[in-house]
């Protein structure tokens, strides 16, 4: 029997509360963020991959597993695969009428994710937050935010290693008199600011909070505002990447900006 994985846990929570939209959203967020092992017909050829496709009477599915051991257990032999995030696989399959067979027959999280559900997931993941400019009057301690959002932010920021040093969750009052909550990143990589804002937007969406809003801003460590954030805010330390090796092998899906191509 294989160990219970985080995806198993989120799946169990969803199954235990079928009417809980929040549990369903949290499962799909985890599915998008998880590294999945996609079974292939043959070894990749450069950036081109040919997934094994499982056909039913009315649908088609690719086979994915959340651990290498589960893939090996299912296949029972050495088999080619591509390790990709759930979001990359969903984007690759978008519009092709193909769903996901997740951990088929070998894990508590075994399920079929139909193409329609993958389409919804892609639409949700590609929704970009709005940009605006406003002058801050004051930062205050965050108040009244549900624990589900705090947990969602903590989990999402754990996937952003190396993109910023830390972030602070604060209440914010603007010069216009408007009040909101803000997640302020400190020393974020400039090229990653859009990705960080999108990650926060996903955390808000998948936490199941209706009509919620959370502003995102970026500050340097030497900015006066950074010190104000530290005094008022709830701090999240982002994981830092491991020291880079001199050589990193290039495998399909290792570069999110250059996803593999389905054959």
pLDDT at 211: 46
SS3 content of the chain, % helix, strand, coil (to 5): 35, 25, 40
pLDDT at 240: 82
pLDDT at 207: 79
This prediction has a pTM of: 0.69
pLDDT at 258: 60
What is the mean pLDDT for each group of 10 consecutive residues in the chain (263 residues)?
A: 85 93 90 94 87 91 96 91 93 92 95 94 80 88 89 89 94 92 95 91 78 83 94 93 50 56 62
79, 62, 156: which is closest to 118 by C-alpha? Answer: 62
What token pair was written down for 58? Answer: 């009315």
239: Cα within 13 Å, side-chain hemisphere: 11
pLDDT at 214: 87
Decide if 125 contacts 32 (C-beta within 8 A).
yes
Round to whole Å and give the CA distance between 65 and 37.
Answer: 5
Round to whole Å and give the CA distance between 159 and 41.
Answer: 30
Round to whole Å and give the CA distance between 152 and 156.
Answer: 6
pLDDT at 108: 94
Instruction: Tell me whether residue 119 is exposed, middle or buried, using C-beta atoms within 10 angstroms of its C-beta: 0 to 12, 13 to 18, 19 or more.
Output: middle
Domains and CATH numbers, the chain: 6-126 (3.40.1350.90), 136-237 (3.30.70)
pLDDT at 121: 92
pLDDT at 218: 95
Q: What distance, in Å, lies between the first and last C-alpha atoms of the chain?
A: 34
């Amino acid at each position: 029997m294989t160990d219970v994985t985080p995806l198993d846990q989120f799946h169990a929570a969803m199954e235990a509360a079928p009417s809980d939209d929040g549990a369903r959203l949290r499962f799909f967020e985890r599915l998008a963020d998880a590294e999945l092992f996609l079974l292939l017909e043959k070894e990749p050829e450069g950036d081109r991959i040919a997934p094994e496709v499982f056909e039913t009477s009315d649908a088609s599915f690719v086979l994915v597993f959340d651990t290498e051991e589960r893939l090996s257990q299912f296949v029972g032999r050495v088999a080619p695969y591509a390790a990709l995030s759930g979001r990359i696989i969903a984007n690759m399959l978008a519009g092709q009428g193909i769903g996901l067979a997740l951990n088929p027959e070998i894990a508590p999280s075994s399920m079929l994710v139909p193409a329609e559900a993958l389409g919804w997931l892609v639409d949700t993941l590609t929704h970009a937050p709005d940009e605006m400019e406003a002058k801050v009057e004051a930062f205050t301690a965050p108040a009244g935010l549900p624990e589900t959002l705090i947990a969602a932010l903590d989990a999402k920021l754990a996937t952003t290693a190396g993109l910023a040093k830390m972030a602070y969750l604060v209440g914010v009052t603007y010069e216009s008199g408007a009040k909101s909550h803000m997640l302020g990143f400190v020393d974020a990589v400039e090229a990653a600011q859009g990705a960080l804002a999108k990650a926060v937007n996903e955390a808000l969406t998948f936490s199941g909070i209706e009509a919620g809003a959370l502003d995102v801003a970026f500050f340097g460590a030497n900015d006066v505002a950074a010190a104000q954030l530290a005094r008022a805010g709830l701090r999240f330390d982002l994981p830092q990447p491991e020291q880079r090796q001199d050589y990193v092998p290039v495998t399909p899906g290792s570069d999110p900006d250059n996803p593999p191509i389905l054959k």
